[in-house]
Structure 1
């Protein structure tokens, strides 16, 4: 075949192919944009996962998704996961045997009290050996409990939702808020000044309200409809809850080498959708105060909100400063702080279920309220997440604050700060351990480069101590309260003994939680850890 014939044959073949393809051209014109959009969405999803979770986490997530798709693997993983859940549950199922599932046919009347006492005796002996949990102790404990118990009982039937019926607890709430605001930088009385707030059921509700309020305030102020907030990894998990509840994108950024919020890292994450940044005074894990002044400058410069979590520090830091401790700025005296959460039921020594959320001014707080005008039940407005609220707890908080007064809080703060420093110094003298950062307040967190710190925790548990396990880095902490003032030497003695026990006999203690904490920390698939927690909670509550 000569060259001309070959070219002629090729041209004929090309014409035939073009003719056949032209039949599918309309379909191609329809499918091509769809295929392009599909590919673009895949690329965008991958980019989103990588940008939000980082390359390493995103890669692990994709690999684990592929592994789970292999036949039989998911079934095996679920089986192994259930084993861990069963171990976490421990003897929970057997403990639930005999629990009531229906009303008694005849009311028990006063016999109820004896049954309450019977069950109370089964609680852990928490006096002196619990991290946080109960904040009052000593000779004054019984008297203080009596005062707040009587206050709670006297107003147990009240509800501040009905402010026309129960003006007493409405007044108590306003005064608790005003007294708390005065401690935290308010220069005027709340009733006639700027700083304002409400009482809530606890730190989580205070944080939820502050986040919701910041979201709605920034929407009104800047028109932000796709809100984002930025928090250090040390910030409380209540912010994750708020992000889920209120559909806010959450960015967690690393802390610096001193375990304080990294201002530069936070600044890099700020964009047109940022509504809120967070600082803690101190952070729950390590008891370290974030650089609130620098965060305030950052918030002011970008016209966004700054919430300071003072749930732990609100009833310690103002008094520690008066006592001469080096406390950096942390409250409304810092320009840029728009809201604060502070628990009265911690170092305020109020009954459990009492916290305060504060705002710099009324223009911000108005966005906390929910007003309903079209309900057939009438006009409705509620300041907090709860509608009805227990007036007895409000009265109890007021009674606690009035009973102790400035003098009482100064005395308590002096004692717990001294106890905290004794424990910190004692831990630093144990060669196998190291203290995380430089604690600013009443939490001492420590880990080990030599031993499994969770095994040390199990050894301490066997001696009756109830400490808190942390991660990244693996560590444990004690939140020092008045319970510990007279047992610091006992704590350090038991800690030294536990370290030596683990050092001489490394390995998990039977029935201890070290293997579970260790496995969770090493598990690259965090979604699996999340599933474990959800499964555990689902079967225990």
Structure 2
């Protein structure tokens, strides 16, 4: 067959296929499928976010594209580069020690050092930065959940006994396996689900990430959901967004009520669709220490057969003991604790950080599920690996058994009476601070009615910038958290806070007076918040600063 004849036949066949009515119908059906699919996704997005919010998102996206194009101009690019360089120098100066006396250990020593030398060198490193903070002074928001000097001895002793242990080998370290199972059992009972299931993790973030993974896989297996979505309050921990990015889950963020600080239940219901795998509520949330209405969220989860994760990472053993401490009904008509644990129908998972108000060593948390059947979706099992069957309960393979032993020892040392007493002390302190702000500092207001250990406050005076107040508190040695959205500052009270509550109140009053009399418009809190809200591209600049900060953490 000649080449010309072959081309002619190929052309004839191609035309016959392309212009065949059946092919035309298939193309039409395919087009309609993609059109309807994308239209449905747009409809769900607008229904969840609302027309106004969707419009703002489109505007922000367009504005960012325009600004990013402008930033490619040499003059603008040079200016941004210069500002970022200054910021890098400022961050490094606060974190990386400098000077002739600083010794850097960038390579392994030729000969091993003695314990005395190691301890001496550690002491030098502790003292190298002038702005270093002694946590024992108590001028911290959370960060260090100190159980006392005796507790330190208990944890160190447990560490020493199980230093090399690894629960990936339960046959070699059976005691560690037993302690982990007992920790999970004890925490499940605190949250009123003795027949439930759970695992330990490295912290609240991993607990949350594991829960999102579990609910995603559960929804895929039982409901055939391949485009998973979850609905979270604006006040939910950033770990949910982190998990969503890791696991390909679309997030719908629902605003919280400005007064109660609880998620808008009507908006949550409107956002539910066929792809929704889970809802999220907090008890308490990190930003302002308030609760969501878990009962209402549970009713929605039950009605639509969804998962419901309650984040109690920060609430921890405080919310678990509020009822027993007689503080669940609140004080002064405020601070009432709403139902939040597994007694609420619809709750499928709860995260609790034992390394917060459980006073266990950092790096321990528990993720709990209503039943063992749901927990199975958290596991990873690879039966065909050349090295043998591989199975792990969470992200990590090898895990530090010493941390598990430390957590078990801390919980046994405290006992229920110890946790009950610490709950009373910490919550009473937090509520006293909140009441004092309400009654004696008219320029500020407390955000919501936080029932547990966190107090967040904002400004109601036109001449008082609350972030300026936060910077003034920093100058007095306090390490507090600045809040986005509604500008605010929060304090997570601990056992260390109890001893400095009066000093905190006095310093706060002075800081408000100074910020009101002579605001500088400068400082870490003011600068970062101002940059983040300066324009559509502001958050991108903050992202660059955050990246610089993370890079600096690894600068030796």
Query: How does the TM-score come out when normalised to structure 2?
Result: 0.84
Of 325-334 and 109-118, the range deviating more from structure 2: 109-118
| Deviation string, structure 1 residues 341-390 (Cα, Å, up to 9, x no partner) | 00000000000001000111011000111111111111110001000000
Of residues 363, 366, 383 in structure 2, which corresponds to 1:356?
366
Compared with structure 1, are the counterparts of its residues 230 and 87 closer, same or farther at alpha carbon in structure 2 (3 Å cutoff)? same
**Residues 303-322 of structure 1 mapped to structure 2, 5 A cutoff:** 303-322=305-324
How much has 1:70 moved relative to structure 2? 4.2
Instruction: Identify the residue that residue 444 of structure 2 maps to in structure 1.
Output: 433
User: Are 2:471 and 1:469 aligned?
Assistant: no
| Deviation string, structure 1 residues 248-291 (Cα, Å, up to 9, x no partner) | 11111111231101111111111011001001000111111111
| Deviation string, structure 1 residues 200-246 (Cα, Å, up to 9, x no partner) | 10000000101101111111111111111010000000001000101
Query: How does the TM-score come out when normalised to structure 1?
Result: 0.87
Instruction: Identify the residue that residue 521 of structure 1 maps to in structure 2.
Output: 533
**Alignment check: 8 A CA contact 1:340 1:357 kept:** yes
How many Å separate the matches in 1 of 2:419 and 2:79?
Answer: 52
How much has 1:109 moved relative to structure 2? 2.7
Instruction: Identify the residue that residue 291 of structure 2 maps to in structure 1.
Output: 289
Instruction: Identify the residue that residue 387 of structure 2 maps to in structure 1.
Output: 377
Compared with structure 1, are the counterparts of its residues 464 and 324 closer, same or farther at alpha carbon in structure 2 (3 Å cutoff)? same
Instruction: Identify the residue that residue 159 of structure 1 maps to in structure 2.
Output: 166
**Alignment check: 8 A CA contact 1:227 1:274 kept:** yes
Instruction: Identify the residue that residue 503 of structure 1 maps to in structure 2.
Output: 516
| Deviation string, structure 1 residues 55-85 (Cα, Å, up to 9, x no partner) | 1131122123124324854761574265146
Compared with structure 1, are the counterparts of its residues 103 and 79 closer, same or farther at alpha carbon in structure 2 (3 Å cutoff)? farther
How many Å separate the matches in 1 of 2:124 and 2:71?
Answer: 52
Compared with structure 1, are the counterparts of its residues 514 and 506 closer, same or farther at alpha carbon in structure 2 (3 Å cutoff)? same
Instruction: Identify the residue that residue 279 of structure 1 maps to in structure 2.
Output: 281
User: Are 2:97 and 1:87 aligned?
Assistant: no
**Residues 129-168 of structure 1 mapped to structure 2, 5 A cutoff:** 129-136=139-146, 141-168=148-175
How much has 1:530 moved relative to structure 2? 3.0
Instruction: Identify the residue that residue 255 of structure 1 maps to in structure 2.
Output: 256
How much has 1:105 moved relative to structure 2? 2.0
Matched residue SS, 1:272: coil
**Residues 214-253 of structure 1 mapped to structure 2, 5 A cutoff:** 214-253=215-254
Of structures 1 and 2, the larger Rg is shown by: 1
**Alignment check: 8 A CA contact 2:71 2:77 kept:** no
How many Å separate the matches in 1 of 2:82 and 2:306?
Answer: 44
How much has 1:40 moved relative to structure 2? 7.7
Matched residue SS, 1:133: coil
Of 317-326 and 155-164, the range deviating more from structure 2: 317-326
Instruction: Identify the residue that residue 124 of structure 1 maps to in structure 2.
Output: 133
Of residues 430, 445, 448 in structure 2, which corresponds to 1:420?
430
**Alignment check: 8 A CA contact 1:67 1:73 kept:** no
Instruction: Identify the residue that residue 177 of structure 1 maps to in structure 2.
Output: 184
Matched residue SS, 1:219: helix
Q: Which runs of 5+ in 2 are unaligned?
A: 1-18, 330-336
How many Å separate the matches in 1 of 2:78 and 2:536?
Answer: 16
Instruction: Identify the residue that residue 5 of structure 2 maps to in structure 1.
Output: none
How many Å separate the matches in 2 of 1:221 and 1:385?
Answer: 23
Compared with structure 1, are the counterparts of its residues 307 and 388 closer, same or farther at alpha carbon in structure 2 (3 Å cutoff)? same
**Residues 330-341 of structure 1 mapped to structure 2, 5 A cutoff:** 330-341=340-351
How much has 1:50 moved relative to structure 2? 7.8
Instruction: Identify the residue that residue 62 of structure 1 maps to in structure 2.
Output: 62
How many Å separate the matches in 2 of 1:171 and 1:363?
Answer: 21
How much has 1:91 moved relative to structure 2? 4.9
How many Å separate the matches in 2 of 1:293 and 1:72?
Answer: 51
Instruction: Identify the residue that residue 300 of structure 1 maps to in structure 2.
Output: 302
Instruction: Identify the residue that residue 200 of structure 1 maps to in structure 2.
Output: 201
Instruction: Identify the residue that residue 17 of structure 1 maps to in structure 2.
Output: none
How many Å separate the matches in 2 of 1:410 and 1:495?
Answer: 29
| Deviation string, structure 1 residues 379-435 (Cα, Å, up to 9, x no partner) | 110001000000000000000110010110011011001100110011112011111
How much has 1:528 moved relative to structure 2? 4.3
**Alignment check: 8 A CA contact 2:531 2:542 kept:** no
Of 489-498 and 74-83, the range deviating more from structure 2: 74-83
Matched residue SS, 2:120: helix
Instruction: Identify the residue that residue 108 of structure 2 maps to in structure 1.
Output: 103
Instruction: Identify the residue that residue 114 of structure 1 maps to in structure 2.
Output: 120
Compared with structure 1, are the counterparts of its residues 93 and 500 closer, same or farther at alpha carbon in structure 2 (3 Å cutoff)? closer
User: Are 2:430 and 1:410 aligned?
Assistant: no
How many Å separate the matches in 2 of 1:324 and 1:105?
Answer: 60
How much has 1:170 moved relative to structure 2? 0.3
Of 115-124 and 240-249, the range deviating more from structure 2: 115-124
Matched residue SS, 1:358: strand
**Residues 380-391 of structure 1 mapped to structure 2, 5 A cutoff:** 380-391=390-401
Of 333-342 and 45-54, the range deviating more from structure 2: 45-54
**Alignment check: 8 A CA contact 2:351 2:367 kept:** yes
How many Å separate the matches in 2 of 1:224 and 1:521?
Answer: 37
Compared with structure 1, are the counterparts of its residues 418 and 85 closer, same or farther at alpha carbon in structure 2 (3 Å cutoff)? farther
How many Å separate the matches in 2 of 1:417 and 1:161?
Answer: 38
Instruction: Identify the residue that residue 470 of structure 2 maps to in structure 1.
Output: 457
**Alignment check: 8 A CA contact 1:456 1:498 kept:** yes
